[in-house]
Every structure is written in C-alpha cells, then in structure tokens.
Amino acid sequence: MVVQNPTGTAGTRETRQVVQATQIGASLQVVCLLLPLLDLWVLGTVERHVQAAYPQWGPDNVSADRTAIVVALVAVSVLGLACWLVSMWVARRGRGVRATMTTLFILGTLTLLTVAGMGGGAYDQIVPLWLGLTSLVLPVLPGLAAVVAAWSGRSRAYSPSGK
C-alpha cells in the first residue's frame, strides 16, 4: 500500500530513498554549477590552464577560451540540474522510476566522463583536472544511490511500464 505524505511523495521506503538521492544530487549539481563561476571570478585555475596550454596567446585569446570552457561547464551543469529535477518528479510520481533513473544515470555519467576527460589542441584535458573530477564525482554518487534505490524496490510502479 502506498500512502501519500504531506509533501506529495509516495510513502514507500524505496520512493523516499530515490527522492532523497535526487534531492542530494540536485543540491550537489548546484555546487557543480557554481564551481566554474567561482573559478572564473576568484580562483583563476581555468585561465592558468589555458595559459599553460597556449603560452603564445595574448590576454584576449586566453580570456575567450577561458570563458568558453566556463560557459560549457555551466551549460552541462544546468542540463544536469534539469535532469535531477525530472528524476525527482518521476520518483515522486512513482511510475517508470527504474527506467528513468537508469537512463539518466548512464547518459549523465557518459556526458561527465566526456567533459572531464576530453582533450584537444594543446590541451591534455580541456577542463582542469580538479574541476573535471569534482564535476564528475559529485553528481555520480547520488545518481548511483538513486539507481540502486530504484532497483531495490519491489513495487510494480518502479518498473518501466508501471505494471
């Protein structure tokens, strides 16, 4: 029996665990969204990373490449946040949870691995190592927890068809 609680989430243990994992994931995704901006405004590691890869570049080229890297990281984080919010909505709704959590986990992990490990031009990695690893690890852990919680449930509502 599934009982609705005041927050609108289904009352099963599995549902609560998935919703909690998605809430933590969304929160950590906001951190991932803010890290490149913090680096842009305060730390400057992306700028130093660009300068190290292209020492012959002038300040305008370095600034343009730094901004492009930061914008790309912010865009990926915004997309990730949208996926976390969709996951949360699906978990609260209680239908197709396994399929949604698994699909978004795989797509998110592949995207983050690509962003964290992609190289090009003079770059071994386009994104500085600390920023790439942080952006990879923070969302992957609650994502894995959400997938495990979704698949540990015995409810038929968690199957892709909801039957």
How far are the Cα atoms of 63, 68, 135 from residue 46, in angstroms, in the given order?
10, 10, 14
Q: Write out pLDDT tens, residues 18-60.
A: 999 999 999 999 999 999 999 999 999 999 999 999 999 999 9
Residue 159 confidence (pLDDT)? 56
* Rounded average pLDDT over 141-159: 80
CA–CA distance, 22 with 43 (Å, rounded to integer): 29
Residue 15 confidence (pLDDT)? 86
CA–CA distance, 27 with 21 (Å, rounded to integer): 10
Contact 128, 52 (CB under 8 A): no
* Helix 129-152 with 59-93: angle, nearest 10 deg: 10
**Local confidence band at 137 (pLDDT 50, 70, 90 cut-offs):** very high
Residue 162 confidence (pLDDT)? 53
**Window from 43-52, 82-91, 148-157 with minimum mean pLDDT:** 148-157
* Rounded average pLDDT over 81-108: 95
Closest-CA residue to 16 (of 141, 138, 108, 153) = 153
Contact 101, 150 (CB under 8 A): yes
Is the pLDDT at 3 greater than 60? The verdict is no
Q: What is the mean pLDDT of the chain?
A: 88
Is the pLDDT at 6 greater than 50? The verdict is no
Is the pLDDT at 161 greater than 90? The verdict is no
Is the pLDDT at 121 greater than 80? The verdict is yes
